[in-house]
Structure 1
Amino acid sequence: MNGLKLPAEFVGRIEEIGAGRAEPPPARDAATVVVLRDHDRHGLQAFMLRRARSMAFAPGAYVFPGGSVDARDGEAELAWSGPSPAEWAAAFGASETVARELVCAAVRETFEETLVLLAGPTAGTVVDDTRGDAWEADRQALLDRSQSFGGFLDKRGLVLRSDLLRPWAHWITPKIEPRRYDTRFFVAAIPDGQRARDVSTEADQVAWVRPAEAAERAWAGELAMLPPTLATLTELAEYATVADVLAARREVVAYEPTAEIVDGEAWLVLPEDVAHFYPTG
């Protein structure tokens, strides 16, 4: 079976949803960004965070920066450079409104969690350093939602650089999960001069990892990862440099694992063409 064995408590939930006695929660739109760099000795690396054990969703799992769309992420007055919302909509199979929100959420969440900011004073430049008290105050204002992302960019005179992002993947949380996300994955190079830092209260550890090595450690049970994360790392392991990743042509397909009961046990069934990316039971 192309699947993963689930804890016993999922048996009842699978039965309830399957019988129509329970409704799966709606999946919230979310964005994840794989921030990449070229290392002199280690080659291509991706930035990852380990979610704190106290988190309700995926505690202890290694993830990429990202999070849910904020209601104000699609503000029309936001300064924008690069592929239009219509182009992102075509890439991700979404409406223009959702596509705009996803790109904004991708840039905002990456800044909130790592201080990496894919924006600049002009359409052809990017901020070279985001460290300091003033930047931290802005980050905190974004976190507590006292400031919108569009307001943050406008105050600093910055333009969102959607051309620094590339579409990579689309995963939807299974219907049996109490928290569900409709997540689009992006890839991006860390801008010159910027430094990724652990500034998130949601993470207790961060690291730059070689995709192949991180995937191998997940297969060995040393690192906890959700299937979309491991699938993405395994795909990235095929590339030698950031430039190779950004130049890759991707047809983004939506993947949504399902759940079944087999011989009285709960199983998460992975889409057939990505199941080999994850160690199965």
Structure 2
Amino acid sequence: MEPKPTHDPALPTPAATVVMLRDGAQGLEVFMIRRNEKSSVHGGAYVFPGGKVDPGDDAYRDGMQLDQPPADLHRALADPALDEAAAVSLYIAAVRETFEECGVLLAHRRGSLSVEDVYDGTSRGLPFGEVLQILDLTVSTQSLLPWSRWITPATSFTSVRRFDTRFFVVSARAGQEAQHDDFEAVDSVWTTPRGALEKYWRGDITMVPPQIMTLAHLARHGHAESVFAEARAKGPYVVRPLPFEEEGLKAIAYPGDPKHSQTVPVMPGPSRLVWQDGRLLPADGFDALFA
């Protein structure tokens, strides 16, 4: 069944997504979770951990210990319209969502640290930011490298809500096992980017366009350090998808596509995805994801 377009005139909600990487036996691997079917956002889809900036991310921002000055975080996001405070909140949201959705803590302190200490604090109802302050933790912002920025269009047939999402790439943490929380996420997997795309192509799993295109980009790298080197060298790119309908087919155009106002591509992969066989696919076949 074809998706129905929705229109949301509201400003997109700030959000953060974390693309966790490691080197596996078959090369670069990425961690993905499967959203609970009951989730109001991308229910049942395989995604990277992440979510919207919460009020608590702002409330505890000023007292947070960071391993970089706020000015450096602001500079790394490469968005002149963003102030330093909002930049810090995005990093805190990325750290919080990574902990909540897959149990990995992107923070450190001198001496021993047990992730269970953080679980204990949050399970007692304390805000994540307050727990970090109580435990005297420093947020590992240096480990989070901005990769891309995806802005949901006002009219969309893949999301009922608008988000302005910053994607960060990060290395898997030594001594911490990433796993789904069995609440917001009901399954998780380490997979090669190509392996995830093959499953999507066969119809074994569902995904949404930012994940599809990000995986297509990551598939060009053989190991994690190669991804981090690109992130450091190029900085984050901005993607404003353009949904359209042509000859009875729904599609999404990206920068570089003839339909898009931005004529220069900002990322590798196909310039459009077309709705066919119940999902969004490159019109020129599977190999177009890697061309």
The normalised TM-score by structure 2 is 0.79
Deviation at 1:69, TM superposition (A): 0.4
Asked if structure 1 preserves the Cα contact closer than 8 Å seen for 2:33 and 2:188, the reply is yes
Partner of 2:123: 140
Does 1:33 find its partner at 2:21?
Answer: no
* 1:32–1:64 contact (8 Å) kept in structure 2: yes
**1:266 to partner: Cα distance:** 4.6
The one-letter amino acid paired with 2:62 is A
Is 1:113 the equivalent of 2:101?
A: yes
Note if 1:276 corresponds to 2:270. yes
What is residue 201 of structure 1 aligned with on the other side?
183
Partner of 2:167: 185
Q: Which runs of 5+ in 2 are unaligned?
A: 258-264, 274-280, 284-291
Of residues 222-231 and 178-187 in structure 1, the stretch that sits farther from structure 2 once superposed is 222-231
CA positional deviation for 1:224:
1.3
Quick one: distance in 1 between partners of 2:250 and 2:219?
A: 31
For residue 254 of structure 1, report the CA deviation from its aligned partner.
1.7
Aligned counterparts, 1:82-121, within 5 A: 82=68, 84-92=69-77, 93=79, 94-121=82-109
When the two chains are superposed, the root-mean-square deviation of aligned CA atoms in Å is 2.4
Query: 1:36, 1:139 → 2: CA distance?
Result: 26
Report the residue type matching 2:153 in the other structure. Answer: P
Q: Is the 8 A contact 1:37 1:242 kept in 2?
A: yes
| Aligned equivalent of 2:31 | 47
Q: Percent identity?
A: 35
User: Is 1:254 the counterpart of 2:238 in the alignment?
Assistant: yes
Q: Quickly say closer, same or farther: Cα 1:140–1:258, change in 2 above 3 A.
A: farther
Q: Give the equivalent residue in structure 1 for 2:9.
A: 24
1:78 is matched with 64
- Alpha carbons 2:122, 2:128 under 8 Å: kept: no
Distance change >3 Å, CA 276–CA 219, structure 1 → 2: farther
Aligned length: 255
Post-superposition Cα deviations, 1:82-118, rounded to whole Å, max 9, x if no partner, equal 3x33223233213212111100000011001111011
Contact 1:89 1:95 in 2 (8 A): yes
By how many angstroms is 1:60 displaced? 1.5
Amino acid at match of 1:67: G
- Using the size of structure 1 for normalisation, the TM-score is 0.82
Residues 31 and 189 in structure 2, CA contact (< 8 A), matched pair in contact too: yes
Match of 2:49 in 1: 65
Shift of 1:6: 4.9
The structure-2 alpha-carbon separation of the partners of 1:80 and 1:126, relative to structure 1 and needing over 3 Å to count, comes to: farther
In structure 2, relative to structure 1, the CA distance for the partners of 1:239 and 1:267 (3 Å cut) is: closer
Say whether the 8 Å CA contact 1:112–1:200 is kept in structure 2: no
Whether the 8 Å contact between 1:24 and 1:178 is mirrored in structure 2 is: no
Write the letter of the residue equivalent to 2:123: Q
